[in-house]
A and B are shown apart, each in its own frame.
Chain A
Amino acid sequence: MPTLTVDFVVSVIAAAVTGVFAALVLRRWWQKRRPHLLAWGIGLLFYFLGTLSQVILSLAWSPFFFMLWYWTGALMVAPWLGQGTVYLLWRRGNIARNIQMALLLVTVMTLPWALFLTPLDPSPWHPGADMTQIYRDIMPQGSGTVRSFSPVMNTWGTIALVGGAIYSARLFRRKQIMRSRMIGNWLIAAGGLLPALGGALIRLGDPSFKYFGEMAGAILIFAGFLLATSAAAELHDAQREQLPERQAAL
């Protein structure tokens, strides 16, 4: 089967991991209603849609899924994941909410632009094609495309996600508390860097790392999230256990 390549398998794994991860985070948001969980949930949903589009594009050509793949992967995933971290760390004033609105505005504006107003040339596509190698030929750079947004969105998103995770990890390390949350944040930082590194290598002319970077990044962020949230649950349980003792002491 010509489409059953390593890239295809890697894309399927990435789609499965991000799908489960997105569902988990969105369910958590539904229970707790915290804005950072919603932003992460939206970011992961985009991650899932991007990798799913990648799988579909390995099998068949579709202009809709091509633009969905580009829009989610190159424009939306990093800033929405970063926005979750911004909500968590930037609590002064309404800065996080204002950035959220700016991001929402860019999201609303670029979606129809990407899906309906970008000229595409599908001739370079073939079954099993590595989209990172042919996307430039399918969607040439120009003022009529959304490609000009990509560096700004990715740089901002990666700085927010990776920088926020590193900041949190260093904070936990300095205070010598919640070791698993510290490790979780290091994993999130590493996971955020891998797709960004893949994107940077594409710009430098080597797209070979992108699919693997996406998959490994998703797995690392998922592992980091599970570690960090299990630490929070442990702390919550410990506080609940201490409560009757304190009440008895009183």
Chain B
Amino acid sequence: MTDQPLPATPAARADQPRWRRLLFRFDTLLIALTVGFGAVVALDTVRRVPLVWAYILPFDLHYQFARYGLAVALLMAGIAAYIGLVRKGDVTPWFRRGVYVVFGTVLFQALVGLLMYINGTRPAEEVHLIYGAGSVLALPFFIFVEVTAKKRPAMGSYIWGFALLAGILLRSIMTGA
């Protein structure tokens, strides 16, 4: 892998090899970070409890991805605020794909929670289920506003969306374990 910086302009980037363009895309990095985080959590679980790791893994994934989701939601809210409020810019394709990655992560997190619920595990407070459903619904509402917006720029939708998502995830964490 070369250590040369990626060309700044889109036209210059188009001349780069496809693998190199893919490697430096924000959404690719976010997917890699998310999958890598999940892998580290899984490996840590296997190392800690080698005999019952398959039973413990959903608990660990649900616990750790809640914190990861909160950190990513705050990071995305910060990036959205910087692009939308400081630079007065619009939503870029890489940012939108990043939003889809975060939504996928939250959905995965909710599905793990659902699996745990089906297996008989109950949260500390029942309202955790409401916050879980709310965290899945939060982003699609604002994605809808952004992609159908006639008035541009529309980065405000994601500032709202990620700020709300962070709040809901925080309450989920507080009512979960």
Interface residues of A (CB under 8 A from B): 93-95, 97-98, 101-102, 104-105, 108-110, 112-113, 117, 143-144
Contact = CB atoms under 8 A, between A and B. Distances in A.
Nearest to B84: A93
Contacts of B138: 105
Interface string B136-177: 011001101110010100101100110010000000000100
Given A94-B149, A98-B157, A117 B144 contact: no
Contact of A109 (B134, B160, B161): B134
B145 A101 contact: yes
Nearest to A98: B160
Interface residues of B, number: 24
Given A94-B157, A95-B156, A98-B157, A104 B141 contact: yes
Given A101-B145, A105-B138, A143-B125, 16 more contacts: A94-B151, A95-B156, A97-B149, A97-B157, A98-B160, A101-B141, A101-B161, A102-B141, A109-B133, A109-B137, A113-B130, A117-B126, A117-B127, A117-B129, A143-B127, A143-B175
A95 B151 CA distance: 10
Chain A interface, DSSP helix/strand/loop, else mixed: helix
A144 B141 contact: no
Contacts, number: 58
Given A94-B151, A94-B154, A112-B130, A105 B125 contact: no
Interface string B106-140: 00000000000000000001110111011001100
A98 B125 contact: no
B127 A144 contact: yes
Contacts of B154: 93-94
A108 B137 contact: yes
